Structure 1
Amino acid sequence: MRLTTTLAIVGLLLAPATMAAERNDLPSCYRYAQLASEQPAPSGRALTVVIDETVNMPQALKSSAWEHTLRYLQPGDSIKLYQFSALLQNNYMKLQFAGILEKPLVGKVRNHIGNASLKKLDTCLQQQAAFFQKTFGKQFVESFGKPNEEISRSEIFASLKKIGEDLGQEPSEDQIILLVSDMLENSDFGSFYQANRIRGIDPAAELAKVEKKELFAQLDGARVYVMGAGLIGDDAKGAYRSGKVLQSLERFWQGYFERSNARLVSFGTPELTTDLK
């Protein structure tokens, strides 16, 4: 049976059971193989990818973000994909994908399962991995801004606060956030731009403003990796601003994440030079 047909049938079978549970865009192979009672526990690791639609991200950085994601993920991990923008008619924050990659059976548990059931499960898990790359990959690509579409506003603080509320409803033991954004707030709260350039900011003063407006998030103790910081306008082909300006920007976000129950591990300006871990 073809991959799309198999998983479509499984999805239909599982729809009533999953509506009340945590969202999972990946049909369960253990239910399909009637081995739900033998399913291994999830890894406890969660990766949340957050893409800023307002940035005209160069293709090299899009590809790099995709590769970082795939290198990190392992069977048993959960994965979410958010797209955020500004609160405009057709541009707003969306949860584009949420799923759990299931672990294969190993060891003594596997040895007690019949060959027919194991074959059904193993084949489905291979299909699940391929289905994930196809489905998540499509949403990943579509989450980036369009080359000929300019969105002048960017609600980074409000978006992270809402994402934090979501994470709080489904806490994980090991949470990582990959944030693909220029990290330049441009909203009614304030702007990190001045005359179409990055404004030199005072991190302490800006953090005080965020506190006054109650815009810190609650990010589940996440480790945060940023890529794309400092990209602006037509210069998004890879150029970045002065080291002094970017250092101030990084210090601000380091303080922001500390106040938001998270830790900034790496701040890519624009490329992320360390793997997620």
Structure 2
Amino acid sequence: MVERVTGRSLPELLDERLFKPMGVDHAEWDRVASGAAFGFHGLHLTTEAVAAFGELLLRGGLWGDRRLVPREWVELATRRHVDTPQIEDWSKNPDALRGYGYQFWMSRHGYRGEGAFGQLCVVVPSSDLVVAVTGAIPQGEAVLAPLWECLLPGLDHAGSSRDDEILADRLRRLSLASVPGSADPERSVKARLDASVGDSALPDGTTVMVDPVDDGWLLRLGPLLNIEAGHGEWRESAPLGRPVVAAGAWQGNTFVAEIYVITTPHRVLLSVYADAGTAMATWNVVPLTSPSLALHVRSPLMTRPDVA
């Protein structure tokens, strides 16, 4: 409807009116073969950008002194319009039963946007609070109970400057653990991918090569997908236009790497067995549109080229 009324694509319109004014310069959308965005899902943003969107809602559509969204719409969209009754064998979490607005779920405190695999943007106007989550969590509701039980009560305590320093130091040091193991900087390996495990991120028979480069490795996954991996650190690259971070290590005669697709909860575990000359590449959770890793790291995204 938006595209018919405005004569412009949804991504183009939202970039101009919403994302760019907020300083979000890169919003990717899952697309089909025609280039059209799905619209109902598949918007890829950094966690910081999701938090900024929550802040926009918290301020009633204001970004700084600029109004990007009418306050009336924010108030209408984020209040209860329909009930969400208990469904047999489905979650009994109290936050699932608070009702639904215009694509926003009501919560015990405030409201939330909720995406696949535990993506969350929680807004609690009464506490001036926004929480953004990007992570592969089977039930996003599992994050909410700790927020209400631990975080929310803490907001009532003034704390001290020392508390602020301790928190800031802890946040600076937060990181995902790198892959354990040795560097073995002179060792290369070549293998053939075995996709028999199912939900493989790479096609069966793909040639996998691991070559040491600059205190890390270059992972060659087929003819087009070259990903940089660090040892003891995460290294960023954009093999087909979209960024990924990767780290790896040798664990005996097996090379292991983890590849995270930024702006998603998805990561690939790559295991290369030097003795057998075989490799496997498996998702932690398979993306909604396609298990092909190449489709998810290509820009612009076109994760369903089979759909017109």
TM-score normalised to structure 1 length? 0.24
Decide which structure has greater strand share.
2
Report the structure number with the largest CA radius of gyration: 2
Greater RCO structure (CA 8 Å; 6+ sep): 1
TM-score normalised to structure 2 length? 0.22
Decide which structure has greater helix share.
1
